[in-house]
């Protein structure tokens, strides 16, 4: 009987998202001023947007930018 192969790279990659979310949550709750939810939400979502733009080296197309802006405003309005 063969031992099952443990995919270590997959496990590490899968654990990256919860660790990243946890650190941004900790920073947002502990180091940002209280009762400013819009600032907290913007600072929590800004780093991933900057990283994605730097990685892709291009901005979203103009036709999808309006949809992204609309979805973002809705997300902030519902979440806060």
pLDDT, mean of each 10-residue run, the chain (80 residues): 81 84 76 77 77 84 84 69
pLDDT at 80: 53
Instruction: Please give the DSSP secondary-structure letter assigned to residue 32.
Output: S
Among 72, 71, 66, 69, CA closest to 38: 72
Overall pTM > 0.85: no
pLDDT at 42: 76
């Amino acid at each position: 009987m063969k031992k099952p192969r443990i995919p270590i790279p997959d496990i590490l990659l899968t654990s990256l998202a919860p660790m990243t979310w946890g650190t941004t949550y900790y920073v947002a709750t502990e180091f940002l001023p209280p009762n400013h939810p819009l600032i907290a939400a913007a600072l929590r979502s800004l780093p991933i947007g900057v990283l994605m733009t730097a990685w892709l080296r291009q901005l979203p197309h103009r036709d999808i930018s309006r949809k992204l802006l609309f979805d973002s405003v809705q997300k902030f309005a519902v979440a806060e």
